[in-house]
Amino acid sequence: MAQCHTPGTVDRPAGAARRVVVLGGSGFVGRHVAAAVRASGAEPLLVSRRPLGDGPDRSFPMDLAGDGPDGLARLLDTERPYAVVNAAGAAWSRVPETMDRGNHLLVETLLSALATAAWRPRLVQLGSIFEYAPPAPGTTLDERAPLRPTTPYGWSKLRGTRAVLAATEAGRADAVVLRLSNAIGAGTPASSLLGRVATQLHAADAGEEAEVHVSPLLASRDFVDVRDVAAAALAAASLPAAGQVVNIGRGEAVPVRAMVERLIAASGRRARIIEGDVAGVRPQSGLDWIQVETGTARRLLGWTPRHSLDSSVRELWHAATGRAAEESYS
């Protein structure tokens, strides 16, 4: 049952089941998208490179970048979901090819699957604010900002976004792109700044002052709770017009130092922050000031962030301590 689309409109497939395919379903954002889908009364179908353990959702091991589009195309035709949320991809890596494989090649394969399948769901592509050129301090970053990434990660995400928008314009896909600011919350990766801080706090002996080693805390960033990101993805799945790009953030620039201090307070630990060069930390991106303009998200998606940053860091800390406890007994 092939669907015919006009760019900028969406013809939701007749009889589309209340199912959502979540690519990267085992990852940080993917797990929260799946939870939001479940809470809405729909059924999440999780796709990830590795088989998932026991859980409430059906899952399908699939390596899109390595195996090609056929498996996903068959899944779409069999399950007939009303949306696919692409929460898969590569985080920052010292190897540019790794980021391009996860953020561009994977997207091209996904688009091939959508073009091959007879069933045409809405695609919600999760991009990044790092696709933009660095904004001037004190300004807000809206969807009209110039696209000039300063990192290989930003370029890999932008190539994926451009592929999605081109496919939508040509009628080969029905997609919306969300460019995310810094998502935080339960499951924040240990490789991120706040994830590394949580690891160091947990590793310190109880009652002793922890030493938290970080790169210089000079930036101000727009942090948004991952639960709010998941809510935005669900809203985008039902947006009438395709081909839209929407920035997702809280709409405030918060000093990174303040976020580290918030996390230390949430942990209840005594800690001393030590700034300097830290091995393995990603280089400066040039985006030292990020404040996202949220008007488009409010207007098109009816979306505003609901969770406070204090709530976000508490969730981050509780999940990090639980993860550390599990690892110590594994």
Confidence of residue 70 (pLDDT cuts 50, 70, 90): very high
Q: What angle do CA 307, 29, 235 make, to 5 degrees?
A: 65
Confidence at residue 281, expressed as pLDDT on a 0 to 100 scale: 55
Between 204 and 132, the higher pLDDT residue: 132
- 234, 301 Cβ separation under 8 angstroms: no
Confidence of residue 280 (pLDDT cuts 50, 70, 90): low
User: In the predicted model, is pLDDT for residue 51 greater than 80?
Assistant: no
- 121, 13 Cβ separation under 8 angstroms: yes
Rounded CA separation 183/248 (Å): 9
Task: Identify the bridge partners of residue 176 per DSSP, sorted by sequence position.
Answer: 124
> What separation in angstroms does the CA of 323 have from each of 133, 259, 264, 329?
36, 21, 17, 10
Dump strand ranges (E) for 200-265.
Answer: 210-214, 220-221, 223-225, 245-248, 254-255
Task: Identify the bridge partners of residue 178 per DSSP, sorted by sequence position.
Answer: 126, 246
Residue among 300, 285, 245 nearest 124 (CA): 245
Dump strand ranges (E) for 129-174.
Answer: none
Mean confidence (pLDDT) of the chain: 90
pLDDT tens-digit map of 153-209: 999 999 999 999 999 999 999 999 999 999 999 999 998 999 999 999 999 887 899
Rounded CA separation 167/5 (Å): 11
Helix (H) or strand (E) holding 78: helix 70-79
Tell me the mean pLDDT in the region 309-315. Answer: 97
Tell me the mean pLDDT in the region 288-316. Answer: 97
Confidence of residue 37 (pLDDT cuts 50, 70, 90): very high
Confidence at residue 304, expressed as pLDDT on a 0 to 100 scale: 97
Rounded CA separation 87/230 (Å): 10
Confidence at residue 91, expressed as pLDDT on a 0 to 100 scale: 85
Rounded CA separation 295/193 (Å): 28
User: In the predicted model, is pLDDT for residue 6 greater than 70?
Assistant: no
Write the CB contacts of 320 (distance below 8 Å, at least 6 apart in sequence): 188, 190, 195, 198, 199, 202
pLDDT tens-digit map of 248-278: 999 999 999 999 999 999 999 999 999 997 7
Q: How many CB atoms lie under 10 A from the CB of residue 81?
A: 26
Query: Is 132 marked active-site?
Result: no
Confidence at residue 8, expressed as pLDDT on a 0 to 100 scale: 34
User: In the predicted model, is pLDDT for residue 230 greater than 70?
Assistant: yes
Strands 254-255 and 220-221: antiparallel
User: In the predicted model, is pLDDT for residue 5 greater than 60?
Assistant: no
Confidence at residue 207, expressed as pLDDT on a 0 to 100 scale: 82
Which residue has 């689309």 as its token pair?
Answer: 5
Confidence at residue 263, expressed as pLDDT on a 0 to 100 scale: 97
- 209, 274 Cβ separation under 8 angstroms: no
Phi, psi of 152 (to 5 degrees): -60, -35
Q: Read off the amino acid at residue 155.
A: W
Confidence at residue 13, expressed as pLDDT on a 0 to 100 scale: 57
Rounded CA separation 298/302 (Å): 5
Tell me the mean pLDDT in the region 72-84. Answer: 97
pLDDT tens-digit map of 105-131: 999 999 999 999 999 999 999 999 999
Confidence of residue 77 (pLDDT cuts 50, 70, 90): very high
* Among the ranges given (6-20, 213-227, 252-266), the one the predictor scored with the smallest mean pLDDT: 6-20
Confidence at residue 55, expressed as pLDDT on a 0 to 100 scale: 84
Q: What is the pTM of this model?
A: 0.91
Residue among 248, 235, 229 nearest 301 (CA): 235
Rounded CA separation 210/205 (Å): 8
Rounded CA separation 231/298 (Å): 12
Confidence at residue 279, expressed as pLDDT on a 0 to 100 scale: 60
The alpha carbon torsion through 195, 200, 204, 209 (nearest 10 deg) reads -110
Confidence at residue 324, expressed as pLDDT on a 0 to 100 scale: 44
